[in-house]
Chain A
Amino acid sequence: MSNILFTNARLIDPEAGTVERGALLVEGGRIVAQGHEIGVPDHVEVVDCGGKCLAPGIADIGVKVGEPGERHKESYKSAGQAAAAGGVTTIVTRPDTNPAIDTPEALEFVTRRAQADTPVNVLPMAALTKGRQGREMTEIGFLLDAGAVAFTDCDHVVANTKVFSRALTYAKSCGALVIAHPQEPGLSEGAAATSGKFAALYGLPAVSPMAERMGLDRDIALLEMTGARYHADQITTARALPALERAKRNGLDITAGTSIHHLTLNELDVSGYRTFFKVKPPLRSEDDRQAVIEAVRTGLIDTISSMHTPQDEESKRLPFEEAASGAVALETLLPAALRLYHAGQLDLPTLFRAMALNPARRLGLEAGRLSAGAPADLVLFDPDVPFVLDRFTLKSKSQNTPFDGQRMQGRVLATYVAGKAVYRRP
């Protein structure tokens, strides 16, 4: 493992909340020193950052890889390359594969595939219930031993409250983190858009944003009962925020994330029935988007994820209602997030707090920081360089990005995992 001295960098330190010119010394895969001036020790490679930004690598909770079942949509190899090119140094994979990752054996398969093919860290999540059916809990203890970092049925809500409360109770006894999709399934079933003027005009079946609050309210009540460790995968509406705020104030072990698409796009982007903008939950109103940005700024929403969901052309080239949900985002997460920086809404330490520090903390990882002792998972990027995204240049096997043809600003120059360069912009 090489030793590197990064000089002349803008160091984005989400822990300290600072952006400072300086240098960073990496030895043995870990950060050993950060400072304004660091003398060049022997036997180190010096990387002159040229005044560009150096930040902790992104830890992305909720990445879908198509293995097993849909390898043609995304393999561990392609997902790893996309992650590296996007400055994502840790991908936390979803168990909503086919079949679901709901046994230790299936989890071992994922771990093996990931180790063989992926240049970035892969941490697998496991299903909370068998087959994500919401009936019986999985072997949470064995799955933890096998390396599961969290338990989630992804976009399947465990509708049976008794089943969910027992799973939370059991997970709590194992110290496991449960990640849920807060949504009232009775209201959201069949919906392709958020109810409002737009959905009414386009004649799309729609769900009220209230469904998210109702789902969150239920889950919070169950947390009061069980004391479990809980993370809401995506909070996307203004109405859910007061409930989240109260739950945190009351000391429940709750955190929440949101997706990059809900932070940067709104329901009007779907106009013309563009299925690449169909995500789950559906894109929201501009008022909701602004409220969610503000919640990330204040820290009420802890994490930002790509919710990377590869879909092939066939599953998207359908009438809007029939088309599959989801968008790829590993490579566009950082440039899209930088839109919020360039718009003056979120500064760089806040963005990396939500994309690197907080997700790592929630999973109990040492990464996500620029402090001595942390793993040298780093992203070097130029926040200002403009480009127009061509989706066919993406490294994912699927190119279903809503940002195709859009002007973006900010590009990854290099990505390091444990001090080793896994990506360098050609």
Chain B
Amino acid sequence: MSFAHRHLLGIEQLSPADITAILDLAETYVDLNRQSAKHSDVLSGLTQINMFFENSTRTQASFELAGKRLGADVMNMSMQASSIKKGETLIDTAMTLNAMHPDLLVVRHPHSGAVDLLAQKVNCAVLNAGDGRHEHPTQALLDALTIRRAKGRLHRLNIAICGDIAHSRVARSNLILLGKMENRIRLIGPPTLVPGQFAEFGAEVYDDMREGLKDVDVVMMLRLQKERMDGGFIPSEREYYHRYGLDREKLGLAKADAIVMHPGPMNRGVEIDGTLADDINRSVIQEQVEMGVAVRMAAMELLARNLRGAA
């Protein structure tokens, strides 16, 4: 099986076959990760640098663990603390790192398109760990794997994505991926956070959550990104919770076996009821975290195969 991409910059560039290939390989890593001896050496000798220009605990830890389990030499760089403060441009930082010959560069950046820009300037494989409001491809892939395992398929499902769609790269990548796999997607949220343009992507847009959740198979909640807001998108957290927070009553409108997802970190009592999030019969939130490591291992292995092939 070949994976004809040098980088993983977004879901947009992937074909359904690419997506299936990553998920299939990730399944094998789910098994590996559940064993006591979790080590593989498919990345041994390769250097992975995690460059995070924006705070992240979960994604960075997940990428770090994925690299280490595959035998890569992993280095974390917190870019907020370093060179940008000294006035270095993104491209200069990229060129500097490039000169150290990394093989895999995992990048998160607060601006849309910044990871694409960086990928043009380096020789190694670049994985987008989230760029601005644009894409977060490994999150969409881990969500897809979670759905496929819970539902037994990744097509012809009714999937609701709820909350702050406008500022969410997770929503964008999921919308693209789930659309490519031929699912019906509903976007639910206040119109200030779900601009009508999203209807042009073939999604149905709802501002009434109760109506939107009817008969869906998957309820994907998004974090209310307070730090992204210029202010004034919603009147208050409590009104938001009342109208758009997921609780048992609203979930009752979805299919009886509908699963609840959340990319984390959660604001309990803002977008999701705390006990619902912890209900292992409905919530797959912990499984999403588990799938995250497996999907990142798979993505890095596929890119590394190309690196080794090129060498």
Contact = CB atoms under 8 A, between A and B. Distances in A.
A272 B116 CA distance: 8
Residue of A200, A317, A321, A322 with most partner-chain B CB within 10 A: A200
Contact of A202 (B89, B91, B113, B230): B113
Interface string B190-210: 000001011011000000000
Interface string B102-138: 0000000101111011000000000000011111000
Nearest to B134: A203
B113 A319 contact: yes
A203 B172 contact: yes
B90 interface: yes
A53 to B, nearest CB: 40
A197 B201 contact: yes
Given A203-B169, A203-B172, A319 B109 contact: yes
B195 to A, nearest CB: 6
Interface of B: 12, 89-91, 109, 111-114, 116-117, 131-135, 169, 172, 195, 197-198, 200-201, 230
Contacts of A322: 111
Contacts of B135: 203
Interface string A194-209: 0111011111110000
Contacts of A318: 89-91, 117
A319 B198 contact: no
Contact of B113 (A196, A200, A273, A317): A273
Interface string A164-191: 0000000000000000000000000010
B111 A320 contact: yes
A204 B109 CA distance: 14
Contacts of B117: 273, 317-319
Contacts of A145: none
Contacts of A203: 112-113, 131-135, 169, 172
Given A202-B112, A204-B112, A273-B113, 6 more contacts: A195-B197, A197-B197, A204-B133, A273-B116, A318-B91, A320-B111
A319 B197 contact: no
Query: Closest 7 A-B residue pairs measured CB to CB?
Result: A273-B113, A203-B133, A203-B134, A319-B111, A319-B114, A203-B112, A200-B197
Contacts of A320: 111-113
17 contacts: A190-B230, A200-B197, A201-B172, A202-B134, A203-B112, A203-B133, A204-B112, A204-B132, A272-B116, A273-B112, A273-B113, A273-B117, A317-B89, A319-B132, A320-B112, A321-B111, A321-B113
Interface string A299-337: 000000000000000100111111000000000000000
Contacts of B90: 318-319
Contacts of B200: 197, 200
Contacts of A204: 112-113, 132-133
B164 to A, nearest CB: 13
B105 to A, nearest CB: 16
Interface in A231-246: none
A201 B195 CA distance: 12
Nearest to B111: A319
B170 to A, nearest CB: 11
A318 B112 CA distance: 11
Nearest to A313: B91
Contacts of A199: 197
A16 to B, nearest CB: 46
A282 to B, nearest CB: 14
A322 B89 CA distance: 11
